[in-house]
Amino acid sequence: MQRTLVTTLATLAGVALAVPAAAADQPSTTPAKRSWGAESSPLMRPGSAVRYWTAGKQAKAKAANLPKSGSESRSVRLSQSGPARLPGSRAAHAQPRSVPAAKRLTPGGDVNGYVRVPRPYTSADFSRISGRLFFVNAGGNGDSCSASVVRSEARLLIVTAAHCVYSVPDGATSGRWHSSFAFVPAYDGRAGDVREREPYGRWGGRRAWKPDGYTGLSGGDWNSVYDIALIEVGRHRDGTLQGAVGAFTPMRNQGGKYSIATTGYPGILGRKPYDGRDQLWCLGKTQQIRSFNTDGIETGSLLNARAAASGTATGTGRMETRNCHLFQGHSGGPWVVRGTGDLVGVLSAGKEDGEADGNSVANALSPESYGAIVQRADPRGVYDSLSVRLTGPALPVRRGGTAPVTATVTMRGLMAAAQVPVTLSVPAGASLASVSGAACTRTSRHATCTIGAVHPGRPVRITARIDVARDAGPSVPVTAHVTSTRLDPAQRDNTSVTRIRTFR
């Protein structure tokens, strides 16, 4: 039976999407890479990965090293071989740790803000769609991250962090692709048999993609806005991964304020429930995070300039929550908007285990990062197909009177879009009396509106009332324009004009 594609976090009460916030107070280190291209791994054999990742190897898999969300002076990257500091260790007791009680939003959340997802994981959309990703890292060792199924035309894509698919081994000067990817949706490491442990089976990776702006180098690149990746898995005899478990709807965004739920598999061996055998979840509120390169230059301005040039909303593309303390193994896990099931971010970085005032950082699904790789990973998919259709009164309007017009904005692509700009304009001989249906600012002849979110198949309508001047001509044109991105394959329908016929 095919599952629904657009999931809602039914067990987690819904909260609406909010407008992006101003930058947060803690800077991070990010390289000033300007490319929007993508790179792909060599082709792999999905069946080989499925056979490789036996139950015994899964149990021994460690968690991928955790990038840091702060500057090097405040948070040092975990060494490839050094032990992690755990809450409860001597080092951790030297200072307050994790998430203070006042900041824990998850009902029943522990000192890190997390709680176990109720078993069985097959019973809810969000826990089916999330899973544990096993792989052999660039150093030849078994590792794991978290990942989730994302809506695509191919119906075979999972999304995770780029550092889960590509890294620089110790002693090397350039990165290497990881291999033998095996994704297990709804993985239950405490189950007694394989059917319960892997209720939907193992899905071997065929190819991985990352933005070419991600190099895997230490320092700033571990805190990169490009730390996001896609993996195509192979088909099973009875169908696709998306058909088996469903998928989150990706939301094109540049970060901001959201109420999110995140699921995943923090995996530090021997540390219950953070040993990778339980699916955990955490509730958080996000804020924009500032990004700096190694010279102290804020790279958000570079992204904003490029975003403005391509007609996208501005922002650094990164956001954080201080309600959830990211642990190793949860890297690549989804940030999903409560109440809508929209995937707005992928977990990327956090402070070292045991540090005070823990946090988590995610990369937004921006055109620069997610957009770059999804075009390569799912070339038949249409992702940002926004259109606008303007309609006015069917009958002529008396000059000196008022006419209603409606701009209907529709998304026909596979992804949703946040903070969608729409403009309305009228010529001399008319003026905008009022505009409703979105957050708008207006002058007498021009309105600039921002729609909080546009979802596939759920049009949003903006209504305006037009005052027609007594000296207006026989026809008054009204123009509406919606801004999409370079992911939109056909932008001719981004502008619509309707003409209000008038009479004396």
Rounded to 5°, angle at Cα 157 from 328 and 46:
85
Q: How confident is the model at residue 268 (pLDDT cuts 50, 70, 90)?
A: confident
Average confidence (pLDDT) over 63-68: 69
Q: Decide: 286 and 319 in contact? Cβ < 8 Å.
A: yes
Residue 129 has φ and ψ, to the nearest 5°, of -75, -30
Q: Say what the pLDDT of residue 256 is.
A: 92
With a cut of 50, say whether residue 260 has pLDDT above it: yes
Residues 349, 437 within the same domain? no
Q: Say what the pLDDT of residue 19 is.
A: 32
Q: Say what the pLDDT of residue 220 is.
A: 52
Residues 486, 338 within the same domain? no
Q: Say what the pLDDT of residue 382 is.
A: 93
CB proximity list for 299: less than 8 A, separation 6 or greater: 30, 31, 32, 225, 291, 292, 293, 316
Residues 135, 97 within the same domain? yes
Domain end position, chosen among 320, 354, 377: 377
Domain end position, chosen among 377, 401, 430: 377
Indicate whether 12 belongs to any domain.
no
Q: Are strands 203-211 and 142-149 parallel, antiparallel or unpaired?
A: unpaired
Indicate whether 200 belongs to any domain.
yes
Number of domains the chain is built from: 2
Residues 372, 392 within the same domain? no
Q: How confident is the model at residue 30 (pLDDT cuts 50, 70, 90)?
A: very low
Q: Quote the domain boundaries for residue 317.
A: 38-72+85-377
Identify the weakest region by mean pLDDT among 53-67, 257-271, 292-306.
292-306
Average confidence (pLDDT) over 65-69: 58
The CATH number assigned to the domain holding 357 equals 2.40.10.120
Residues 180, 163 within the same domain? yes
Omega before residue 393 within 30° of 0, cis: no
Indicate whether 28 belongs to any domain.
no
Nearest-angstrom CA–CA distance, 203 and 208 = 13
Identify the weakest region by mean pLDDT among 147-151, 382-386, 421-425, 496-500.
382-386
Nearest-angstrom CA–CA distance, 120 and 452 = 34
Indicate whether 56 belongs to any domain.
yes
Q: Decide: 153 and 381 in contact? Cβ < 8 Å.
A: yes
Q: Please write the tens of the pLDDT for every residue from 338-384.
A: 989 999 999 998 765 556 678 899 999 999 899 999 999 999 999 99
Q: How confident is the model at residue 397 (pLDDT cuts 50, 70, 90)?
A: very high
Q: How many C-beta neighbours within 10 Å does residue 198 have?
A: 22
pTM, two decimal places: 0.84
Nearest-angstrom CA–CA distance, 215 and 227 = 9
Indicate whether 23 belongs to any domain.
no
CB proximity list for 385: less than 8 A, separation 6 or greater: 411, 412, 413, 484, 488, 489, 490
Q: Say what the pLDDT of residue 263 is.
A: 97
Average confidence (pLDDT) over 79-85: 30
Of the candidates 400, 382, 394, 362, the one whose C-alpha atom is nearest the C-alpha of residue 498 is 394
Q: Say what the pLDDT of residue 129 is.
A: 99
Residue 374 has φ and ψ, to the nearest 5°, of -70, -30
Range among 103-117, 312-326, 449-463 with highest mean pLDDT value? 449-463
Of the candidates 113, 420, 67, 412, the one whose C-alpha atom is nearest the C-alpha of residue 261 is 113
Q: Percent of the chain beyond pLDDT 70?
A: 79
CA Rg, the chain, in Å?
24
Average confidence (pLDDT) over 437-461: 97
Average confidence (pLDDT) over 32-59: 88
Average confidence (pLDDT) over 460-469: 98
Residues 370, 451 within the same domain? no
Indicate whether 247 belongs to any domain.
yes
Q: Say what the pLDDT of residue 450 is.
A: 98
Q: How confident is the model at residue 66 (pLDDT cuts 50, 70, 90)?
A: low
Helix and strand totals (H; E) in the chain: 8, 29
Q: Say what the pLDDT of residue 400 is.
A: 97
Average confidence (pLDDT) over 189-203: 97
Residues 124, 214 within the same domain? yes
Indicate whether 365 belongs to any domain.
yes
Strand stretches in 173-269, DSSP E:
176-177, 179-185, 203-211, 229-233, 249-252, 259-264
The CATH number assigned to the domain holding 489 equals 2.60.40.1510
Residues 349, 423 within the same domain? no
Dihedral sign for Cα atoms in the order 375, 42, 68, 348: positive
More confident residue, 200 or 63: 200
Q: Say what the pLDDT of residue 358 is.
A: 80
Q: Say what the pLDDT of residue 356 is.
A: 67
Q: Say what the pLDDT of residue 72 is.
A: 34
- Cross-strand bridge partners of residue 347: 362
More confident residue, 315 or 176: 176
Q: Are strands 416-425 and 446-454 parallel, antiparallel or unpaired?
A: antiparallel
Q: How is 126-166 classified by DSSP, letter by letter?
A: HHHHEEEEEEE-TTS-EEEEEEEEB--SSS-EEEE-GGGTE
Rounded to 5°, angle at Cα 335 from 331 and 341:
140
With a cut of 90, say whether residue 17 has pLDDT above it: no
Mean pLDDT of the chain: 84
Q: Say what the pLDDT of residue 33 is.
A: 40
With a cut of 90, say whether residue 29 has pLDDT above it: no
Residues 64, 194 within the same domain? yes
Residues 141, 191 within the same domain? yes
Residues 447, 469 within the same domain? yes
Indicate whether 26 belongs to any domain.
no
Identify the weakest region by mean pLDDT among 100-109, 200-209, 404-413.
100-109
Q: How confident is the model at residue 2 (pLDDT cuts 50, 70, 90)?
A: very low
Domain end position, chosen among 349, 377, 405: 377
With a cut of 80, say whether residue 18 has pLDDT above it: no
Residues 96, 191 within the same domain? yes
Q: Say what the pLDDT of residue 38 is.
A: 96
Q: How confident is the model at residue 99 (pLDDT cuts 50, 70, 90)?
A: confident
Identify the weakest region by mean pLDDT among 86-90, 287-291, 304-308.
86-90
